[in-house]
């Protein structure tokens, strides 16, 4: 039997969360006190280019919480890149991404660890409802999961975000994935491994406002769909064939009509509608193609996912 103490790592991106740092670590401190008799414990806080006093607040928190390591990124790279940085620097046998706004209750981590100890390699934290979301967010989130899972080979569990526990072997697998445009929900699903689910109630955000507006969520959804499905490209092949078939049938109709009844004066309105419809279909198709070409262009540069300005480790 392996008696060596195992380690649990929490990774949390911080972006303009200065007012909430103290509240976050008060709750995490309670979790640490609960876990440390059995586990080694660390928190990897990623300062994702915050423009407020988040970094200073994290440094102050480190004086009180010696298990805290601060990864200070050179600018704002986005949540997906910040989570990737946390995965790279976390050293735990189990790693848990968790939001700094306390909508992911730290107390749930103990339940995730229980399932991990029972043999699960991934423990998903599934939200029970979306009462904290705006109505438009509820509608678009449900639509995104249905659409993505219908057209993609990789199924993303509905109502499951980044909040989950991953065994070290899962983290190692994620670290081998080379892409720079990262949609973490898809990457988590792509690597697989044995998963179980724990349900939890999302808490209201305690401080500040979310940086994800409707436009960012829309772009995020497009990123997820184009990352794991070629169906948006394939559908334009079918649509092009359908439009071409209709055009051919209409051409045959006009030819027969002209031969049998002679030519009449062509209508300006019908001609313009046909031209505008065909042009619109072509431009939409080019736009979808551009999304995929843009991803190829970004990946071909081989730029790093993030750049670290400084790593602040706790004093020995």
Element (H, E) at 69: strand 68-73
Alpha helices (runs of H) in the chain, residue ranges in sequence order? 21-35, 54-64, 79-89, 108-117, 135-151, 168-175, 184-191, 214-228, 231-261, 268-300
Q: Rounded to two decimals, what is the model's pTM?
A: 0.71
| First-last CA distance in the chain | 30
One digit per residue, the tens of pLDDT, for the chain of length 316 reads 455 788 999 999 998 888 888 888 988 888 888 888 889 999 999 998 888 888 999 998 888 898 999 999 999 888 888 999 999 999 999 999 998 888 888 888 988 998 998 888 999 888 887 565 555 565 566 666 666 666 677 777 777 878 889 999 999 998 988 887 777 887 888 888 888 888 888 776 666 555 555 555 556 566 656 666 666 666 766 777 776 677 667 667 766 766 676 655 565 456 656 776 777 777 777 777 777 777 777 777 788 888 999 988 876 6
User: Domain-by-domain residue ranges, the chain?
Assistant: 7-229+305-312, 231-300
DSSP 127: E
The CATH code belonging to domain 7-229+305-312 is: 3.90.550.10
Element (H, E) at 183: none
User: Token pair of 286, please?
Assistant: 């080019």
């Amino acid at each position: 039997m392996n008696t060596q103490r195992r380690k649990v790592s929490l990774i949390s991106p911080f972006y303009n969360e200065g007012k909430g740092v103290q509240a976050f670590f008060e709750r995490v401190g309670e979790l640490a006190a609960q876990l440390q008799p059995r586990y080694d414990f660390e928190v990897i806080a990623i300062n994702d280019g915050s423009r407020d006093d988040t970094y200073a607040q994290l440094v102050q928190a480190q004086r009180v919480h010696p298990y805290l390591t601060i990864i200070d990124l050179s600018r704002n790279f986005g949540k997906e890149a910040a989570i990737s940085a946390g995965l790279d620097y976390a050293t735990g046998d189990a790693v848990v991404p968790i939001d700094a706004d306390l909508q992911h209750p730290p107390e749930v981590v103990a339940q995730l660890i229980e399932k991990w100890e029972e043999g699960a390699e991934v423990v998903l934290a599934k939200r029970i409802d979306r009462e904290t979301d705006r109505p438009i967010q509820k509608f678009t989130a449900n639509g995104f999961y249905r659409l993505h899972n219908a057209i993609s080979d990789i199924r993303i569990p509905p109502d499951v975000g980044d909040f989950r526990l991953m065994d070290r072997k899962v983290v190692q697998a994620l670290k081998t994935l080379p892409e720079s445009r990262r949609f973490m929900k898809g990457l988590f699903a792509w690597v697989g491994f044995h998963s179980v689910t724990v349900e939890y109630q999302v808490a209201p955000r305690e401080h500040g406002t979310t940086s994800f507006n409707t436009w960012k969520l829309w772009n995020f959804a497009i990123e997820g769909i184009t990352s794991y499905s070629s169906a948006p490209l394939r559908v334009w092949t079918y649509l092009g064939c359908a439009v071409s078939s209709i055009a051919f049938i209409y051409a045959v109709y006009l030819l027969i009509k002209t031969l049998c009844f002679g030519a009449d004066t062509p209508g300006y309105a019908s001609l313009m509608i046909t031209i505008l419809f065909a042009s619109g279909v072509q431009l939409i198709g080019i736009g979808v193609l551009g999304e995929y070409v843009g991803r190829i262009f970004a990946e071909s540069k081989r730029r790093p996912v993030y750049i670290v300005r400084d790593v602040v480790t706790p004093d020995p």
